Amino acid sequence: MREKIKKFLAQNKNTDGLADEDDLFEKGFVDSLFALQLIMFLEREFKTHIPNELIKEDNFRSVDAIVGTVTSLQGQG
């Protein structure tokens, strides 16, 4: 999962030197439009639905946070 997320990010941005815990918003990797693309990718790729109440910056702030969010959703299914 982690590698697929990082590959998606790398297709859209230069991720050289990006650590899994780095703040994607602070480093300019994610803006509001890209956040929507990222959510659509996650739902399609991992066959899950991200409910509106989980669409918060903190859940998508880093690769680690994204993995945690998707993993917790998959555990609910």
CATH number of the CATH domain containing 57: 1.10.1200.10
Q: Which has the higher per-residue pLDDT, 33 or 46?
A: 46
User: What is the residue range of 35's domain?
Assistant: 2-8+21-76
Separation CA 11–CA 59 (nearest Å): 21
Geometric angle at alpha carbon 58, from 56 and 64, rounded to 5°: 125
Is residue 15 assigned to a domain?
no
Task: List the structure tokens of 28.
Answer: 């300019």
pLDDT band for 76, please (50, 70, 90 cuts): low
Residue 33, in any domain of the structure: yes
Model pTM score: 0.91
**Average pLDDT for residues 6-23, to the nearest whole number?**
92
- Domain tally for the chain? 1
